[in-house]
Amino acid sequence: MAEDQSTDLSRFKATYFEECAELLTTAEETIARLQDGSASDDDLNAVFRCVHSIKGGAGAFSFDGLVHFAHVLETSLDLLRSGRAAMTPQVADLLVRGNDVLGDYVRAAQEGVELPPGHGREIMDQLAAIITGAPVAAAVSAPAPAAAPAAAPPADPAERKWCILFQPAPGMLRTGNDPLLLLRELAGLGVMTVEADRTRLPGLAEMDAMESYLSWTVTVVTDKPRAAIEEVFEFVSGDTATVSIEAISPGAPDEAAAAEATEGEGWGLFTPLAAAAPAVAEPPRPAAAAPKADTPKADASAHGPVHTASIRVDLDKIDRLVNMVGELVITQAMLGQQTTHFSVESHPELIQGLQELSHHTRELQESVMAIRAQPVKALFSRAPRLVRDLSAKLGKQVRLVMSGENTEVDKTVIEQLSDPMTHLIRNSLDHGLETPEERTAAGKPAEGTVHLAAEHRSGRIIIEVGDDGRGIDRRRVLEKAVEKGLVERGSQLTDEQIDALIFAPGFSTATEVSDVSGRGVGMDVVRKNIQDVGGRVVVQSTPGQGSRFILSLPLTLAVMDGMLVAVGGQRYVLPLTNIVESLRPTQQQARSLVNIGNVLVLRGEYIRLIPLHQLFGIADAVTDPTRALVVVVETEGGDRIGLQVDELLGQQQVVIKSLDANYRPVQGISAATILGDGRVALILDVGALRAMGERMPGAGGAEPMPAEAAE
Amino acid sequence: MQNAPDAVASDAAAGEARQFISFTIGDEEYGVDIMAIREIKGWTATTELPNTPPYVRGVINLRGAIVPIFDLRTRFGGGVTTASARHVIMVVSVRARVVGILVDAVADIITITAGNIQPVPELERKTDSTFLSGLVTVEGRMVALLDLDSLFDAELTADLHSFAA
């Protein structure tokens, strides 16, 4: 029994820590917005809610240190959001660090270790200073209604009467909220009287038990602050209920005085001072002395955690689902293949059924993939922090610009990219960007820019990390490469080839090893990580103007549309997204140029022609281009090449199977798939084929490539 | 293993008895630790992998997984096997991967105690002796025990990521 309980508890704990991780990230993102000033009031509320949720769970599991720290942070956030303390850049910084410390506490609780007793003390003290210094700060920031707030103590011990109008939306019960519980909670705050409004109640026959028809006017007399009442309705969003809270204050003369002033200043005790101007006061409720803007309603509708109907699912379960859908796609392809010779006339129902099956399979597959898709925001969200920390450490001024954060990509891809991205950003800051002095001397703005961008392009996701720094110093790179024996002295390399050297294992140009980057174990690992998920990374650099690292990755690691092509006895799959057109070239179109190889002349454009049989050493293929087919394909870089194949066999959806799970990567091949007949077909990697084609023997006769040449 | 009561008996006696499945390539007999073997199946046509050594026969679909097939005869320098339906693929797991090895036929299940395994003599150069972990004599036949790890070491760990540079 005891064991059962403990495993149960540990399961809850695991869920709690998962949630904490998400909450901490959300809080951090939001605080970052607060820092750059683009935040709204809702953002403060959001941070507050995050911290509050962490604290709540921590209390349940008795993580005392965590609860204590979270409480201090929460209290100061509460003061900030109610405007009793002013938001300044210093405070924002403090919040960032507070969030970090909170993260430390969460991790410590997760790992079951005790943090040293003084951990985060400094932050806590500063936060405490916000709390105690609150009224003063508020008075300074909003001098106009100074008299009223100055007179108001932060927590008024006097009892006050509150009028709460609580009107559940018809569907509130369906979202799991029970008005009765909320009312009971209100009752717990003090002396409560409730009046139910039954006017909307239909006859018994028309009544739907799942709807809520009642609304309530509640009067509570309590010594608790407004926040306590708001907290009761914390998880009731604007979609599920309308809540307004007003003070009917019997015994607070200074508040009444304040209320008699203009509406903008008529805030009373517990509403923002600094943000007074845009207040939209609701029409006064019965006998309300102090009309109030309904802050709880506003923040609830923006961030109701309740109405985001989502569930937490173990990734393994989704993976199983993805695999099964993959098998289904193969089976469906097989059925399709087996029945091609059946005519619609002889088997109308079978053919129709198969068409529907194919339709449903595709829809199913798309839905499953959508489950795994996540915006790259999850990846980018760590960048602001990293840039902030590093720029401080390196003494550089850096502006981070992000675009395309909402581009979606498979979750596994995102996970695999986290380390490479971190490294690329570090690299840009450390090696790419110059110091402010150097920049000014070079006639550039002192503040450098790091640009993160994501977009979908030809069925892949392109992620770019760019900077406007000094660019790659090719002379030094080449020098270093020669020194390290990576290239032979005196070899002639193109600029691109030199740039690519930075990805070579053990290469680093940093003359001094810094603690930011420059241990020389970076870029090759970056490249390897990216290649592990079927991606590629290239660098483009302009001396004096900056560098751009371009990552190209598959959107999903599971299914894609392909064109089946035959070369000799072999069948290959070409990703449909790469294909531009296919044609059988005439004698005039297919030319062989000395030192360049075969080219295809297409509407005045010269395209490199790569005979696949030659690249892969396939003996029984069609060698004459005019008797073969040329598929013009486009790489992510926008380059076009013509792949010479024997024939096109047809288009089909293929399930991507890893080749290196049991073997190792093969050049020119991105993965494998299983065809309808159960045989394996290899999926071509167009970008790699282009690279291989460039290194083919120039004259490009019909002789097959030696097996080792590609390696 | 259930079919060998004598194996269980000798297990208890020698303490370190291990079972091997032996197979033949031409006249030679080799043994693989039975624990490494996932399944044994008949030859099926493979899909060739471009620009790989001749002993890599390609890949097959093993219930949804892509499994590479290695021709052990070629690996040992005996030429390429002309595979027919009578040839056998032994599916083994090595270094957390699943690979198939093409052999002529499965011969026997043999139980060996560690003491019976003799080291590979230095002069045994017909095959690269680092692939062998030892020799045993079973009913007058010599069986060479394969060290799968070192056999596939180069094959599975080689890094082909060098082309982008």
- pLDDT at position A521 over 70: no
Please give the average per-residue pLDDT across A542-566, as a whole number: 83
Our CA-based measurement puts residue B77 at a distance from the nearest CA of chain A, in whole angstroms, of 17
Bigger pLDDT: A296 vs A26: A26
Please give the average per-residue pLDDT across A307-319, as a whole number: 76
Which site among A550, A565, A615, A680 would you substitute to test the B interface, given the most B Cβ atoms closer than 10 Å to its Cβ? A680
Across the interface, which of B66, B161, B164 has its CB nearest the CB of A659? B66
CB–CB of A473/A432 below 8 Å?
no
- pLDDT at position A407 over 90: no
Give me the pLDDT at residue B22, please. Answer: 93
Bigger pLDDT: A109 vs A518: A109
Q: Measured between CB atoms, does B115 come within 8 Å of chain A?
A: no
CB–CB of A263/A276 below 8 Å?
no
Do the chains contact at A617 and B155, CB–CB below 8 Å?
Answer: no
Query: Amino acid identity, residue A344?
Result: V
pLDDT band at A238 (very low <50, low <70, confident <90, very high): low
What does the block give as tokens for A419?
A: 């380390």
HSE-up (13 A, CA, CB side) for residue A589: 20
Q: What is the crossing angle of helices A121-132 and A64-81, to 10°?
A: 40
Do the chains contact at A617 and B51, CB–CB below 8 Å?
Answer: yes
Q: Measured between CB atoms, does B165 come within 8 Å of chain A?
A: yes
Across the interface, which of A323, A327, A665 has its CB nearest the CB of B160? A665
Residues from chain A that touch B67, judged by Cβ atoms under 8 A, are 662
Q: Which string of DSSP letters, residue by residue, matches B22-70? A: EEEETTEEEEEEGGGEEEEEE----BPPTT--TTEEEEEEETTEEEEEE
What does the block give as tokens for A493?
A: 């390399």
Euclidean distance between CA atoms A229 and A220, whole angstroms: 9
Please give the average per-residue pLDDT across A530-534, as a whole number: 73
Do the chains contact at A661 and B50, CB–CB below 8 Å?
Answer: no
- pLDDT at position A593 over 80: no
Bigger pLDDT: A609 vs A416: A609
Do the chains contact at B163 and A672, CB–CB below 8 Å?
Answer: no
What pLDDT digit, counting tens, does each position of A144-154 carry? 443 334 444 44
What pLDDT digit, counting tens, does each position of A31-76 carry? 777 777 666 777 778 888 888 888 888 888 888 888 888 888 888 8
Give me the pLDDT at residue A572, please. Answer: 94
Residues from chain B that touch A643, judged by Cβ atoms under 8 A, are none
Q: Measured between CB atoms, does B93 come within 8 Å of chain A?
A: no
Residues from chain B that touch A504, judged by Cβ atoms under 8 A, are 165
CB–CB of A673/A640 below 8 Å?
no
Tell the burial category of A198 from Cβ atoms under 10 Å away from its Cβ (0-12, 13-18, 19+).
exposed
Which site among B39, B59, B95 would you substitute to test the A interface, given the most A Cβ atoms closer than 10 Å to its Cβ? B59
Give me the pLDDT at residue A289, please. Answer: 41
Low-confidence ranges of chain B (pLDDT < 50): 1-14, 158-165
Q: Measured between CB atoms, does B50 come within 8 Å of chain A?
A: yes
Question: Which residue is closest to B161 within chain A, CA to CA?
Answer: A528
pLDDT band at A557 (very low <50, low <70, confident <90, very high): low
Euclidean distance between CA atoms A657 and A681, whole angstroms: 10
What pLDDT digit, counting tens, does each position of B2-33 carry? 444 444 444 444 457 889 999 999 888 999 99
CB–CB of B44/B89 below 8 Å?
yes
Euclidean distance between CA atoms A221 and A661, whole angstroms: 68
Which residue's structure tokens are 């911290």? Answer: A51
Euclidean distance between CA atoms B158 and B156, whole angstroms: 6
Give me the pLDDT at residue A478, please. Answer: 85
Q: Measured between CB atoms, does B162 come within 8 Å of chain A?
A: yes
Our CA-based measurement puts residue A386 at a distance from the nearest CA of chain B, in whole angstroms, of 28
Which residue's structure tokens are 């029970």? Answer: A178
Greatest alpha-carbon span in chain A = 100
3-class SS of residue A90 = helix
Euclidean distance between CA atoms A449 and A439, whole angstroms: 11
CA-based nearest residue to A319, from A409, A411, A419: A411
Across the interface, which of B52, B61, B164 has its CB nearest the CB of A680? B61
Helix (H) or strand (E) holding A420: helix A411-427
CB–CB of A565/A647 below 8 Å?
yes
Query: Amino acid identity, residue A354?
Result: L
3-class SS of residue A93 = helix
pLDDT band at A272 (very low <50, low <70, confident <90, very high): very low
Give me the pLDDT at residue B125, please. Answer: 53
What pLDDT digit, counting tens, does each position of A282-296 carry? 444 444 344 444 444
Across the interface, which of A500, A616, A678 has its CB nearest the CB of B164? A500
**Complex prediction ipTM:** 0.81
Ramachandran category for residue A459: left, alpha or beta (phi over 0 → left; psi -120 to 50 → alpha) = left
What does the block give as tokens for B114?
A: 């560690």
Euclidean distance between CA atoms A258 and A147, whole angstroms: 9
pLDDT band at A83 (very low <50, low <70, confident <90, very high): confident
Residues from chain A that touch B164, judged by Cβ atoms under 8 A, are 500, 503, 527, 531, 536-538, 691
Our CA-based measurement puts residue B75 at a distance from the nearest CA of chain A, in whole angstroms, of 16
Q: Measured between CB atoms, does A658 come within 8 Å of chain B?
A: yes
CA-based nearest residue to A71, from A134, A120, A21: A120
Q: What is each CA distance from A98 to A33, A44, A123, in whole angstroms? A: 15, 14, 6
According to DSSP, the residues that pair with A650 across neighbouring strands are A564
Our CA-based measurement puts residue A627 at a distance from the nearest CA of chain B, in whole angstroms, of 23
Q: Which of A86-95, A294-303, A686-695 has the highest mean pLDDT?
A: A686-695
**Mean pLDDT score of chain A, rounded to an integer?**
75
Q: Measured between CB atoms, does A557 come within 8 Å of chain B?
A: no
3-class SS of residue A453 = strand
Ramachandran category for residue A70: left, alpha or beta (phi over 0 → left; psi -120 to 50 → alpha) = alpha
Q: Which residues have CB under 8 Å from A364's CB, separation 6+? A: A325, A328
Give me the pLDDT at residue A512, please. Answer: 44
Residues from chain A that touch B162, judged by Cβ atoms under 8 A, are 711
What is the percent of chain A where pLDDT is above 90?
5
HSE-up (13 A, CA, CB side) for residue A548: 13
pLDDT band at A159 (very low <50, low <70, confident <90, very high): confident
Q: Measured between CB atoms, does A565 come within 8 Å of chain B?
A: no
HSE-up (13 A, CA, CB side) for residue A263: 11
- Residues of A (483-502) whose Cβ lies below 8 Å from B: 500-501
Query: Amino acid identity, residue A282?
Result: E
In A523-657, at which residue ranges do the beta strands (DSSP E only) sit?
A: 536-542, 546-554, 559-567, 570-575, 579-583, 590-593, 597-602, 605-611, 629-634, 640-645, 647-655
3-class SS of residue A221 = strand
Which stretches of chain B are DSSP H helices?
5-14, 72-75, 148-151, 153-157
Do the chains contact at B51 and A682, CB–CB below 8 Å?
Answer: no
What pLDDT digit, counting tens, does each position of A679-698 carry? 899 999 888 888 888 776 54
Which residue's structure tokens are 């000094």? Answer: A470
pLDDT band at A667 (very low <50, low <70, confident <90, very high): confident
Bigger pLDDT: A634 vs A89: A634
Residues from chain B that touch A570, judged by Cβ atoms under 8 A, are 47-48
Query: Amino acid identity, residue A189?
Result: L
Using alpha carbons only, how large is chain B's radius of gyration in Å? Answer: 17
Euclidean distance between CA atoms A321 and A365, whole angstroms: 9
Do the chains contact at A680 and B163, CB–CB below 8 Å?
Answer: no
Bigger pLDDT: B69 vs A195: B69
CB–CB of B31/B134 below 8 Å?
no
Indicate the length of chain A as a whole number.
Answer: 711
Across the interface, which of B50, B98, B164 has its CB nearest the CB of A527? B164
Tell the burial category of B32 from Cβ atoms under 10 Å away from its Cβ (0-12, 13-18, 19+).
buried
Euclidean distance between CA atoms A673 and A616, whole angstroms: 18
